[in-house]
Amino acid sequence: MSHPALASGHVAVVTGAAQGIGLAIVRALAARGLTVAMIDANARQMSDAVATLPGVSLLPVVVDVADEGAMMDAAQRIRRDLGPVHVLVNNAGVTTRGGPWGGVDAWRRNMGINLFGVLQGQAAFLPDMIEAGLPGLVVNLGSKEGITTPPGNAAYSVAKAGVKVLTEQTAHELRQICGDRITAHLLVPGYTFTPMNFPGMSDETAKPPAPWTADQVAAAMIDAVESGRFYILCPDNEVTPELDAKRIAWAAGDMIEGRPALSRWHPDFAAHFTESASAYNQKQSYCDPAQNREGRK
């Protein structure tokens, strides 16, 4: 069943659209006949991305999603030039590292883009989407690191945990206001072959076997939205859906069973988790179920 917002001739907005998953989503939406407003802060990457999409109906807009005023101006321009927006994909993200104390500037940048960038995207576009009375779709990019919150980059995990809660609240409020006319969804990629995970990658960089491609994530997003799923948890080539479920359930079990915080990485519990999870991952022999990487964009 096709989502009514994903119709040819409709208008989509994608942030972080110049590379990685964002660009793959642009391609997927354009293939369905949508006109896409591409938002990205990097003018050079935007120009390069547009050059790969000849014949596609696009509006490139160079703006930083962390800049509230610029985002509001961008929304006005998009509505003026393209008409009402039907699809909003808040994809822009960074991985500036910040620990549980210190690194406050990195935290501000991380939260400004990864969390407040999503909030500002919704603030810029959702009120008009609601008022227009048209079918609509919102997809926000989360992360498994915002669900299982592994150690190593507290700032990123906190921001993505915030995106999860924000999107859940958004879905609920939209349901109260306009039923199923506008739906919201949380896209949670697995390990993906993108510049975020492979800095400096180029067209000549060989993809290792473990990650999915960005196009696989975009296709999974479309399929899940059309089937009505809110939580869109993507596997990859080293982690099965069953192992993802085991990790999520274990994280919740820390509270329910009174275990230490992040017990998967605690010396008294790590081996127990690895043993209990070993049966849930049969895809690749090189996968260590207790490894720290949960999968970013």
Report the predicted TM-score, pTM, of the whole model to 2 decimal places.
0.94
How far apart CA 248 and CA 246 sit, in angstroms, is 6
- Which residues of the chain are under the pLDDT cut of 50? 283-290
Find tokens 């160079």 and name the residue.
Answer: 62
Other C-beta atoms closer than 10 Å to the C-beta of 200 total 6
CA distances for 213 relative to 23, 189, 221, angstroms: 12, 10, 13
Active site residues: 156
Domains in the chain with CATH codes: 11-237 (3.40.50.720)
pLDDT of residue 285: 38
Mean residue pLDDT across the chain: 94
pLDDT at 202: 86
Cβ atoms 12, 28 nearer than 8 A: no
Indicate the pairing of strand 182-188 with strand 136-141: parallel
DSSP letter string, 97-159: ---SSS-HHHHHHHHHHHTHHHHHHHHHHHHHHHHHTS-EEEEEE--GGGTT--TT-HHHHHH
